[in-house]
Amino acid sequence: MKKNIILIIMLFLLTVSTLIYQWKAYSVNDEKAVIVADESVYLKHVQGQFQIKQVIGPLPNQKYELQIPDKLKDVKCENRSNESCTLKNSRIEVKEEEITLTYTLPAPKQKPKSFLLEDWLIHLEGVDIQAHKIQLSEFNWKKGSWVGNTKETTMKEMELLDYYYLEGIEDEVVLYWQQKPLDIIHNHEDIVLYSSKENKPAKNINYIPFSQEPLYLILTDQHKAIKNGRLWIMRPEDNMQDLQRQLVMMDIQNVFTFKPAEEWLSEVIAALVINVPPKSAKAKKMYGELDRSLSEEQMKEWHQQLHSFDQKQLESKDLDLMLSDILGGKIRFFTDNKVKENPFSPLIIYDSRKVFLNGKDIGEINVLHKNDKWLIEAVPLLKALNYQVALTDRQNVQADKGKIHYRFYPDKRYFDLNDQRYGIGEAPVTFAQETIMMEMAIIPTLFNIEIVQDTTTIQIKEKK
C-alpha cells in the first residue's frame, strides 16, 4: 500500500512538471518577444540607380520573414562569413548574428528638381530597428542636398562624389534630395528644421510636439507639401509666427483625428498653444474670446488637459468638457461654433445645477450667467408651469394658461398680460445662443413662484 502511494505521488509530480514545462514553452512561443537590432545602410547613387547594402544585427540565429518593397531589384543576402543565403518564399535563415542584404532601386534618369526616397528598406518581421546609420555616396546629383528624418546629418563634398552620413531612430527612414542646397538651421530633441538660406527663419522654434516624438521639417518651395510619418515637407512662410502656426496645426492634425467639418478648429487650438492670433475671422474671434476669459493659470491647465487627452479623435464636445472642468458649469463654446460658416457665439458658462419645479426634476433646461444676470431657458420653463407656448418668427412668445395670456417680445422692455401692455426696466426675455432666455429675477413676480438656490440645485416652487 505504501509503495502504491509513493508511485502515485511520483506520477503526479511528473505530470505536473510536464504540464508546467509545456505551458512555459507555449507562453514563450505565443508571446514572440520583439527582437531589437541596429542597422547600417550603405547607399550609392551611381549609373542611374541606387545600389544598397543593408546590414542588420545582432540577431538570434533563426529564420525570418522578409518584407520586401516591390520596387526593389536584384535582392541578395549573405551571412557574416560571406556565405550566400537563399531567399525562399521571402524567408531567410540567420546563422551568425548578422545578415547583409544587397539590392538596387531605379533612380530618375533625368536630374529632377527634387526627389523623395521612401519605402526603400527591407524589414525583418519581428525585428525592431533601434538605430539607423546611413552612408550615402552621391555620384550623379552633386551640388544638391540630401536630408531626412535623421537626428544627425553631415556632408562632405569631394571631387568625384558627395559623401553623406545620416543617423536616425525612426521606424521608417525617409530621405529627401533637392538641387537647391538645404541647411540644418534648428536641431534639438523635439524639432529638426531644414531650410534653404533665403528661407531661413529669424529665430528658433519654441514648441514641444503633442506626440512627444521628434519632428523633422523641411522648408522648401522645390517640392509639394507632404506628411510622411514624422517627416513633413512644408512651404516656406513669410515669418516665424506663420511657420509656428502651420507647424502646430499640422502636429495637432497628425496626433488627433477630427470630424471633417470640425478639422478647422485645429487653427483655434494652434493659436492658443503658441499664443498667436489666427488668420481666419471666426478663429480669431474664438481665440480672442478664450484669451480674455481664461487666466494665465487656467490657460496652462487647458494646455495640460489637451496634452494628456488620450483619445485619438478630438471633437468639439471634448474641448468643451475641458473648458467646463476649468471654468465650472457647462460650456458649449466649441460645439456652438463648430460650423465655420455659422455666426460666432460668445463664451457662456451654463449653470450645471439641476432645476426642480415643485420638487420634480424639470430635465434638460439651460441656466446661464450673463452680464451679471441669471437667465433661464424660457420655453421649457413655461411648459413646466403648464403654459401653452407658441413662437412667432422670433418676434414674440405667446404663453397661455386658462384666463392668463402673456405675450413677450424678446429684447424689448415691455410685455402684454391679457392684452394690457406693461413697461419694465429690463427686457424680461432675450435671445442668447439662439435660445429665448428669461431673467430669473423677474420670474417670481410674473408667475407667482419662489426660487431657492443652493450649491447643487435650483428649486422653483409655485405659491398656492
Pick 184 or 6 by higher pLDDT.
184
Query: Comparing 48-57, 100-109, 196-205, 212-221, which segment has the lowest mean pLDDT?
Result: 196-205
CA 308 remoteness from chain centre: 11
Query: Comparing 44-48, 237-241, 331-335, which segment has the lowest mean pLDDT?
Result: 237-241
- Cα–Cα dist 41/166, whole Å: 10
Alpha helices in 279-430 (DSSP H): 281-293, 296-308, 316-327, 333-337, 378-384
Query: Comparing 20-34, 197-211, 270-284, 423-437, which segment has the lowest mean pLDDT?
Result: 20-34
- Cα–Cα dist 71/435, whole Å: 61
Cβ 143 vs Cβ 51: under 8 Å:
no
- Cα–Cα dist 257/314, whole Å: 6
User: According to the model, what pLDDT value does residue 197 have?
Assistant: 65
Helix (H, G, I), strand (E, B) or coil at 282: helix
pLDDT tens digits, one per residue of 350-403: 888 889 988 888 888 888 877 777 889 888 999 999 999 988 766 789 999 999
User: According to the model, what pLDDT value does residue 122 have?
Assistant: 93
- Cα–Cα dist 227/209, whole Å: 15
DSSP E strand stretches across 17-98 = 35-46, 49-57, 63-67, 73-79, 84-85, 91-93
Pick 96 or 120 by higher pLDDT.
120
CA 459 remoteness from chain centre: 42
pLDDT tens digits, one per residue of 17-53: 555 544 444 344 444 578 999 999 999 999 889 999 9
User: According to the model, what pLDDT value does residue 189 have?
Assistant: 67
Question: How high is the mean pLDDT of the chain?
Answer: 84
CA 321 remoteness from chain centre: 17
Say if residue 81's pLDDT is above 70.
no
Question: 379: closest CA among 392, 416, 331?
Answer: 392
With bands split at pLDDT 50, 70 and 90, how would you rate the model's confidence at 163?
very high
Stretch 224-229: mean pLDDT, rounded?
A: 86
- Cα–Cα dist 305/61, whole Å: 47
pLDDT tens digits, one per residue of 62-79: 888 889 998 999 998 887
What is the DSSP track for 105-117? EE--SSPPSEEEE
Cβ 443 vs Cβ 435: under 8 Å:
no
pLDDT tens digits, one per residue of 267-316: 999 999 888 899 899 999 999 999 998 999 999 999 999 989 989 999 99
Strands 127-138, 35-46: pairing kind: parallel
Q: Which three cell numbers stand for residue 275?
A: 499664443
User: According to the model, what pLDDT value does residue 205 have?
Assistant: 66
Predicted structure pTM score? 0.65
Say if residue 234's pLDDT is above 50.
yes
- Cα–Cα dist 340/79, whole Å: 60
Say if residue 196's pLDDT is above 60.
yes
Pick 135 or 219 by higher pLDDT.
135
**Dihedral of alpha carbons 191, 192, 195, 201, sign:** positive
Highest mean pLDDT among 7-11, 102-106, 171-175: 102-106
Stretch 88-100: mean pLDDT, rounded?
A: 79
Q: Which three cell numbers stand for residue 463?
A: 405659491
Say if residue 98's pLDDT is above 60.
yes
User: According to the model, what pLDDT value does residue 155 have?
Assistant: 86
Q: Which three cell numbers stand for residue 335?
A: 460645439
- Cα–Cα dist 271/286, whole Å: 10
Q: Which three cell numbers stand for residue 315?
A: 471633437
Highest mean pLDDT among 187-196, 391-400, 419-428: 419-428
Cβ 42 vs Cβ 53: under 8 Å:
yes
Helical (H) or strand (E) element with 408: strand 404-408
User: According to the model, what pLDDT value does residue 22 have?
Assistant: 46
Q: Please return the burial class of 305, using the count of CB atoms within 10 Å of its CB with bins 0-12, 13-18 and 19+.
A: middle
**Dihedral of alpha carbons 207, 280, 291, 320, sign:** negative
User: According to the model, what pLDDT value does residue 239 have?
Assistant: 61
With bands split at pLDDT 50, 70 and 90, how would you rate the model's confidence at 405?
very high
Q: Give whole-number Cα distances, 338 to 307, 334, 342, in Å.
A: 21, 6, 8
Query: Comparing 212-221, 300-309, 427-436, which segment has the lowest mean pLDDT?
Result: 427-436
Instruction: Scan for cell 477630427, then name that residue.
Output: 258
- The Cβ-side half-sphere exposure at 183, using a 13 Å CA radius, reads 8
The pLDDT > 90 percentage for the chain reads 41
Question: 55: closest CA among 39, 76, 37?
Answer: 39
Angle subtended by helix axes 281-293 and 265-274, to nearest 10: 40
Q: Note if the bond before 108 is cis, omega within 30 degrees.
A: no
